[in-house]
Amino acid sequence: MIREARLRDLLPAGSPSRLEASGVVAADGHYLVVCDNLRAVAVIDADLSRVAANTLNPTGPGPGNGYEDIARDPVTGHVFLLVESAERDGGHQARVEEYDESFRFVAAGWLEYPLPRPNKGIEGLEFARRDDQVYLLGLHESGGLLVFRPGRRNWRHVATVDLPAGLPLADFAGVSVAGARIALLSQESAAVWVGELAPDKWAATGPGRVRRFPRGYCTVEGVCWLGPESMVVVSDRAKRDSRPARCREKEESLHVLDLDDLSPAGPVNPAGPR
């Protein structure tokens, strides 16, 4: 790891002690972090040391106890906060809230894709522009990477990214796209798949590669590219009843890493999600 720190050590006194980190983006020398137990956005200086300058910005009331991921439009500075699943018309869909660069509410809308149950929803979110069009990419826990375009009020599902068959990840927990580069994070496999997207269609251009996190990084949840071979990752809280004690060493933390420091991984679950 290039550097890492516990989130509770990076936020001002009086901030919540439980910080179930679930998503991160890098912007203007800061990391914007969301937690799935807080309706707020943490703004953390990228050097992970200037604690006094860091803030926790509440977003106000709304569905869900927190956010599953965060995406950002680099042109406007607006951020998009993902509510994994909420009730709608007798079923469940994910919901996205848009805020401006000062975290003032702009709009909210549904990701129009049916979800089987409340806790099996959209786990990751990314913002993209192609051919002067705006898109959101929603990473379904088991259904793949979904492409949404803005409609009159909500976000319409218009495509599903063609990923390599038999992608060796046991689940999907986070997504980041930078140019042609794409990273898909798996918490269960403690691994990240790195590939490239075609410029003219929603498809990966090859098999990519999988890298495994070191022992103890059991709860990796959100990811954002920093450069061609570097990224920032956040870790959730380890479940006390199902995770070994060693998983608590790296929980609720922010990690800046170089891909070369991760081990090449063989197949984890060849029959897993596409």
**What's the sign of the alpha-carbon dihedral 99, 120, 215, 167?**
negative
pLDDT of 131 higher than 70:
yes
Task: Give me the DSSP letters along 166-222.
Answer: T-S-S---EEEEETTEEEEEETTTTEEEEEEB-SSSSBBSS--EEEEPPTT---EEE
Q: Is residue 173, in this structure, part of any structural domain at all? A: yes
Q: What domain range includes position 216?
A: 3-264
Strand ranges across the sheet with 181-186: 174-178, 181-186, 191-196, 209-212, 263-264
What is the DSSP secondary structure assignment for residue 67, as one 8-state letter? -
Residue with tokens 């918490």: 187
Residue 274 lies in a domain: no
Q: Does residue 223 belong to any structural domain of this protein?
A: yes
Are 80 and 89 spatial neighbours (Cβ–Cβ below 8 Å)? no
pLDDT at 272: 35
**Residue 271: pLDDT band by 50, 70, 90 thresholds?**
very low
For the stretch 86-128, pLDDT in tens is 999 989 999 999 999 999 999 999 999 999 877 778 999 999 9
Task: Supply the pLDDT for residue 266.
Answer: 54
> What is the CA angle 30-36-39, rounded to 5?
75
Residues linked to residue 4 through DSSP beta bridges, in sequence order: 255
Q: How many CA atoms lie within 13 A of 26 on its CB side?
A: 20
In a domain? residue 273: no
Task: Please tell me the predicted confidence (pLDDT) of residue 267.
Answer: 42
Give the total residue count for the chain: 274
Dihedral Cα 188, 41, 130, 174, nearest 10 deg = 0
Question: What are the pLDDT digits (tens) for 138-148?
Answer: 999 777 999 99
Mean pLDDT of the chain: 92
DSSP H or E run through 108: strand 105-112
What pTM does this model have?
Answer: 0.93
- For 150-161, what is the mean pLDDT? 96
State pLDDT tens for residues 187-197. Answer: 999 999 999 99
Q: Does residue 81 lie in a domain region?
A: yes
Query: Which residues are 111's β-sheet partners?
Result: 94, 155
Q: Is 238 a domain residue?
A: yes
Q: How many domains are there within the chain? A: 1
Measured CA to CA, the distance from residue 24 to residue 224 in angstroms comes to 6
Question: Do the domain assignments include residue 271?
Answer: no
Task: Lowest mean pLDDT of 8-17, 121-130, 173-182, name the range.
Answer: 8-17
| Cα-trace Rg, the chain | 17
Query: Furthest-apart CA pair in the chain: how many Å?
Result: 48
Measured CA to CA, the distance from residue 62 to residue 66 in angstroms comes to 9
Q: Give the domain CATH number at 9.
A: 2.120.10.30
For residue 13, what are the contacts with CB-CB under 8 A and spacing of at least 6? none
- Beginning with the edge strand found earlier in the chain, give each strand of the sheet holding 3-6 in spatial order: 3-6, 253-258, 230-235, 220-227
Beta strands in 7-74 (DSSP E): 21-27, 30-35, 40-45, 55-58, 69-72
Q: Is residue 47 part of a domain?
A: yes
